Amino acid sequence: MSEPTSSPTQGEPAAGRGSGPHVVPLAVLVAVFAALIALTYLTVAATHYDLGDWNLAIAMGIASVKALLVALYFMHLRYDHPLFALIFAAGLVFVFLFISLTLLDTLEYQSDTDPWADTLTRSGEPQTPMPLRSGSRTLNTNPKRKRGELSAG
């Protein structure tokens, strides 16, 4: 392909940066493929070792390296106009914000929740889940409403 000549919009090229679309050499594609397969093997192998919290971090780290390789080479981001990378990154940033702010909140109030507890599902009645200040008798009695007395008091 030749140089783009009359770009219709100034400052923004009509077709990529510099000379036309970049053709990725076959050797690069195959090398990326080999790296991806190797990383897949590595991530499976890593689960055989108990590294505590690091297991998740390693799995996510390897997945991110793989994703980066796919995006840079298979998806041409390395050769294309940076705007595309910016759009892609914007999506990731907002997903990150969404997950992190939501997670921050749900972790914070987790101690108040009690899912799966029979006391809260449809099949059961809440049974005074927290210790009350005084002893609890199961007597259900009550006077009729005495509005007069209250307003007087």
Partner 1 sequence: MEKEIAGSMSTSATDNYLTHSRGLKSWLFTLDHKRIGVMYLVSIMTALAVGGFLAMLIRVELAAPGPTIMGNNSLLGSDPAAGKDIYNQIFTLHGAVMIFLFIIPGVPAALGNFVLPVMLGAKDVAFPRLNLVSYYLWVIGAAFFLLVLVSGGLDTGWTLYAPYSTSTDTRVLSAGLGVFILGFSSIFTGLNFIATVHTLRPPGMTWFKMPLFVWALYATAVIQVLATPVLGITVLLLAAELLFKVGIFDPALGGDPVLFQHFFWFYSHPAVYIMILPAMGIISETISVFSRKHIFGYKFIALSSVAIALLGFLVWGHHMFISGQSPLASMIFSALTFSVSIPSAIKVFNWLATMYKGSIQLDTPMCYALSFILLFGIGGLTGLFLGALSVDVILHDTYFVVAHFHYTMMGGTLVAFLAGLHYWWPKITGRMFNNRLGQIAALMVFLSFNLTFFPQFLLGTRGMPRRYFDYSDLSKLDSSFTLLNLHSSVGAFLLGGAMVLTLSYLVHSLFRGRPAPANPWGGNSLEWHCSSPPPHDNFASPPAVGDPYDFTGLEYDPDLGGYVPRRRSVPAPETQPVP
Partner 2 sequence: MTAPGAIAPTLSTASGWLLGQAGESFWLPPPDSTLAGAVDPVFYFILWVSVFFFGLITLLMVLFLVRFRRRAGIGPTPSPSHNTPLEVTWSVIPLILVILIFYFGFTGYMDMRVPPREAYEIHVVAQRWQWMFKYPNGHVDENLHVPVDQAVRLIMQSKDVIHSLFIPDFRVKMDVVPGRYTKTWFQAKEPGQHLLLCTEYCGTGHSDMSATVFVHAAGKFEKWLADAGKFMEDLPPAERGELLYRRHGCQGCHSADGTAKTGPSFQGIFGQTHAFTNAPPTQVDENYIRESILEPSAKVRQGYSDKMNSYKGSLNDEEIADLIEFIKSLK
Partner 3 sequence: MTDAKALPPEEADAGHHRFLAHHFDSPEQQFYTGKLGMWLFLTTEILFFGGLFCAYAVYRANHPDIFVDGHHFLSTALGATNTAVLIFSSLTMAWSVRSAQLSRTRGLIACLVTTLVCAFVFLGIKYVEYAEKMEHGLIPNRIYFERLEPRLAFEPDEAYLREKLSHYADPSAAGEDLDLRVRKVRIFFGIYFCMTGLHALHVIAGIGVILWILVRSLKGHFSSAYFGPVDYVGLYWHLVDLIWIYLFPLLYLIH
Site residues for partner 3 per CB under 8 A: 1-6, 8, 13-16, 20-21, 23-24, 26, 29-30, 32-33, 36-37, 40, 43-44, 46-47, 50-51, 55-56, 59-60, 62-63, 66-67, 70-71, 73-76, 80-81, 83-84, 87-88, 90-92, 94-95, 98-99, 102-103, 106-107, 110, 116
Residue 141 contact, options partner 2, partner 3, partner 1, none, Cβ 5-8 Å cut-off depending on partner type: partner 2
Distance CA(110)–CA(112), nearest Å, equals 5
| Among 18-26, 47-55, 62-70, 125-133, the segment contacting partner 2 (CB under 8 A) | 125-133
Residue 63 contact, options partner 3, partner 1, partner 2, none, Cβ 5-8 Å cut-off depending on partner type: partner 3
Distance CA(44)–CA(37), nearest Å, equals 11
- Among all chains, which residue has been given the structure tokens 């914070």? 108
Gap between the terminal Cα atoms of the chain: 93
Distance CA(36)–CA(62), nearest Å, equals 10
Instruction: Kindly state the tokens that stand for 102.
Output: 């939501």
3 contact partners, CB below 8 Å, separation of at least 6: 18, 19
Binding residues vs partner 2 (CB under 8 A): 109, 112-115, 119-120, 122-130, 132-145, 147, 150-151, 153
